[in-house]
Structure 1
Amino acid sequence: MKNRFFYLLLFLTFFATNGMAQDFSKYFTDKTLRINYTFTGDVSKQDIAVDELCVEPRWWGKRNRLTEVPMEGNGQIIVKDHATGAVIYRNSFSTLFQEWLSYPEAQTTRKSFENVFLVPMPLKKADVTVELYNNHRQIITQMTHTVDPTDILIRHTGYKDVTPYETLQMPDDTARCIRIAYIAEGYQPSEMPLFIKDVKEAMEAMFAHEPFKSLRNRFHIVAVKAPSVDSGTSEPRAGIWKNTALHSHFDTFYSERYLTTLHLKDLHEWLAGIPYEHIIVLVNTTTYGGGGILNSYNLTAAHHPKTKPVVVHEFGHSFAGLADEYAYEAEAIPMYPKDTEPWEANITTLKDFHSKWENMLDKRTKIPTPLNPKHMEKVGVYEGAGYSLKGVYRAFQDCRMRTNENPEFCPVCRRQIERVIRFYTE
């Protein structure tokens, strides 16, 4: 009863603040404010600093439900009207910096990471707050700064010399759609026809999955031809370093197949002036790897036999905030404390299972649910998810978020993806 009262109070507070910010033109102009931050620190202390403010010609993100988020994330950016203190925009995110804090290196070394967030350009002075959460869903650091839209040092970008791009799909309604930019990484100018071919294949792989397939007409897709000097990507373990548009590399956090880019300012500079909100980076390599970070980017090797399932899996992370459902024999990364309910919709520690897929269970379903090859299509509560063999549970015996071999998302993941699509487009 106490928990239900808390969530009711939270909902009422949330609703009250939301109602003040639904008129886009009251608080914003049709431009994008891009804020570059530096996140720095170690496991004991974290700091946030503003690096640079940029303005781009158009705003391509949400214009409705401005103060709502479809998932909590590992952090949030919150914009308030400076004069009244009213929340006028909010978005959630995850970062490589927060993931790195769970690795042993963060115990002894301080490091800095680039992070870039897009918000609509305020008409008047606004206060911007960035909050970072730990894996107990508690704020570990935050900072607030004031943005004056008349500031002459806000750099204009995307008004000329825009990176060449092709539009591959238009939505039925350009006012209510989801904009995805595929961007080339490790493709030389002569390889751009190959890049366009790769994008089309990756795009069709995504739209072969429900609910993307049924709601395909709500997506705007562009392919951005960012040129690289060298072909391919860097492989530090092999001593191979390439000069590419985004300076991507394998061996992120010394994990061999973890392919990422840490150069988020370069990423967004290549995209300046282009209609985008969500980003899929295709890397010109045959080596297996990739990564997906909520509301940051999905980055996938383009020429491995498993590219198609991987790009879809990683978009599950970056777009819908889905968690990995596989487990390791030895849990090297304690991402999900057993005393805290994860915010991700597709895993649970049973601390607040009522908020997850409890309403999708058959009344006779045992919790936890024993594995049974005869009931592969049964929604249950199966132990082993979120990198943990014990104490973290998933909804289905197999899913696109668990293995590359499974051909589709499970019902719980499909429901979450559809919720996010409808959040942005209805």
Structure 2
Amino acid sequence: MKRILPLILIICAFLTAESKAQIRYDDYFTSKSLRIDFLLAGDCSYQKVFIDKYSEEPIWAGTRTNLIPSFEYGEYQFRAYDKASGTEIFRYGFSTLFMEWRSTLEAKSVPRAYPQVVTMPYPKNTIEVEFFERNKADGKWVSMLKSTIDPASMFISKESKASYPRVKIVDGGTPENKVDMVFVAEGYTKDQMAKFEKDVRFMVDYFFQREPYKSRKGDFNVWAVMSPSESVGPDNPGKNYWSRTPMASTFYTFGTDRYLTTSDYKAVRDVVWDVPTDAIFILTNTEVYGGGGIYNYYAMASSDNRYRGEVMIHEFGHSFAGLGDEYFDSETAYEDFYNLKVEPWEPNITTLVNFGAKWKNMLPANTPIPTPVDLTQPRKLGVYEGGGYMSKGIYRPIDKCQMRVNTKDGFCPVCQQAISNAIDYFVK
């Protein structure tokens, strides 16, 4: 019996893993998307989810194989279950600008609400969905809201939105087997769309000069969506400049002049509702230096600043691969963004709480931990103190990676591996 029991446990574990891995897309989903609009509301001490609207959209361009990813990135998580069987059929991790705002001083005294969107393949049968937040105290998932959705409900909107002209810049193949990267125009007037397309082509050429994107260009489709603005550029409160644009982008996010974002993610998704979309890049028509990027949300950068290519690469690293900022010596508006007693979920920073789950196995033999900075070897792999906006207690893989400085030397091996894993999620 002692010999048989372990074998039984191994078989059961294998069958459980197999049943989880073999979720057949066609058993549960159609080729369309279910969009869920909701609000995240609260302050520094609490947050809640409020459902706004359910919609049917015409395209699901995302993965049809990795419906439950092997990694758990993001400050939030969305799960969908088949109501009849209870089987988990879809999972999606993401972060939001609201989460960052909760770490600011303002959140200690003023509550706010930010519009949000998640999308999933359109279900064939009734599902239960659940939203989770990552508990900062221990890094574990805490349920925020459960809701049941009947895909045949007459209250699921099928209303069309504005459909903008688009150009396919890179044609890698069928959307469901590729990374569909979508550039959208912000702060370009109707008469400036030729400039927008030229700016996108510059960015795309620059993007595919950088590894690992260069080696994996064939895994991408790239679109340019021509969404016109009534005026040029984003808002710039520091210069008392206010613009009318589809996505309400602005500098001075949280009081930081270069932080270029929009808090209206609903407006962002409205622009791409009928375009195959896995990753969104908002290209903003301005010479002013700035940008922003949030995991599975969007990335954004200026079109005409001389550092535009490097900013794009950096910000897309956040939004696409979940890479954390490695800098620690510049102005930020956050207060105690990371709990040093918990391992960060971002793959390229560590508190050493669970370093074995990060890049420990990539280190050369006898690498000291922490690793002293050697100015003559800024790209030597190690464990260097400083990162995540904090000078103590958080560590980065090399001294000067793309996620710390605007460098043409590019990403470190750890970040490159994380990006490759993100590409694999969509194409394998």
| TM-score, with structure 1 as normaliser | 0.93
Provide, for residues 341-398 of structure 1, a one-character-per-residue CA deviation record: whole Å limited to 9, x for no partner: 1111101111111111111111111100001123333210001111111110000111
- Once the two structures are aligned, what percentage of the paired residues are identical? 36
Structure-2 residue corresponding to 1:153: 155
Pick closer, same or farther for the CA change 1:77–1:291 going to 2, 3 Å. same
- 1:288-299 paired onto structure 2 within 5 Å: 288-299=289-300
Question: Is the Cα–Cα contact under 8 Å of residues 21 and 88 in structure 1 kept in the other structure?
Answer: no
In the TM superposition, what is the alpha-carbon distance from 1:72 to its structure 2 partner?
Answer: 2.1
Question: Is the Cα–Cα contact under 8 Å of residues 55 and 156 in structure 1 kept in the other structure?
Answer: yes
Higher alpha-carbon deviation: 225-234 or 260-269: 260-269
Matched, 1:60 2:25: no
Structure-2 residue corresponding to 1:253: 254
- 1:17-416 paired onto structure 2 within 5 Å: 19=20, 22-136=23-137, 137-139=139-141, 142-158=144-160, 161-172=162-173, 174-328=175-329, 332-416=334-418
Following the alignment from structure 1 to structure 2, what is the Cα–Cα distance between the partners of residues 13 and 389? 44
Following the alignment from structure 1 to structure 2, what is the Cα–Cα distance between the partners of residues 235 and 386? 26
- The unaligned stretches of length 5 or more in structure 1 are 1-8
Following the alignment from structure 1 to structure 2, what is the Cα–Cα distance between the partners of residues 31 and 323? 32
| TM-score, with structure 2 as normaliser | 0.93
Pick closer, same or farther for the CA change 1:363–1:32 going to 2, 3 Å. same
In the TM superposition, what is the alpha-carbon distance from 1:419 to its structure 2 partner?
Answer: 1.2
Count of aligned pairs between the two proteins: 415
Provide, for residues 46-78 of structure 1, a one-character-per-residue CA deviation record: whole Å limited to 9, x for no partner: 110111111111211110011125442111110
Following the alignment from structure 1 to structure 2, what is the Cα–Cα distance between the partners of residues 325 and 245? 32
Provide, for residues 240-263 of structure 1, a one-character-per-residue CA deviation record: whole Å limited to 9, x for no partner: 111111111111111211111112
The residue type paired with residue 52 of structure 1 is K
Question: Is the Cα–Cα contact under 8 Å of residues 78 and 130 in structure 2 kept in the other structure?
Answer: yes
Higher alpha-carbon deviation: 118-127 or 138-147: 138-147
In the TM superposition, what is the alpha-carbon distance from 1:328 to its structure 2 partner?
Answer: 2.6
The residue type paired with residue 86 of structure 1 is T
In the TM superposition, what is the alpha-carbon distance from 1:265 to its structure 2 partner?
Answer: 1.5
Question: Is the Cα–Cα contact under 8 Å of residues 20 and 88 in structure 1 kept in the other structure?
Answer: no
Pick closer, same or farther for the CA change 1:147–1:20 going to 2, 3 Å. farther
Following the alignment from structure 1 to structure 2, what is the Cα–Cα distance between the partners of residues 422 and 155? 33
- State the SS of the aligned residue for 1:215: helix
The residue type paired with residue 318 of structure 1 is S
The residue type paired with residue 84 of structure 1 is S
The residue type paired with residue 377 of structure 2 is H
Higher alpha-carbon deviation: 165-174 or 309-318: 165-174
Pick closer, same or farther for the CA change 1:69–1:284 going to 2, 3 Å. farther
Computed over aligned residues only, the root mean square deviation of the Cα atoms, in angstroms, reads 1.9
- State the SS of the aligned residue for 1:397: coil
Following the alignment from structure 1 to structure 2, what is the Cα–Cα distance between the partners of residues 132 and 33? 21
Following the alignment from structure 2 to structure 1, what is the Cα–Cα distance between the partners of residues 42 and 325? 26
Question: Is the Cα–Cα contact under 8 Å of residues 130 and 143 in structure 2 kept in the other structure?
Answer: no
The residue type paired with residue 38 of structure 1 is L
Following the alignment from structure 1 to structure 2, what is the Cα–Cα distance between the partners of residues 261 and 153? 29
Provide, for residues 268-310 of structure 1, a one-character-per-residue CA deviation record: whole Å limited to 9, x for no partner: 1111111112100000011111110111100111111111000
Question: Is the Cα–Cα contact under 8 Å of residues 36 and 116 in structure 1 kept in the other structure?
Answer: yes
Following the alignment from structure 2 to structure 1, what is the Cα–Cα distance between the partners of residues 299 and 288? 16
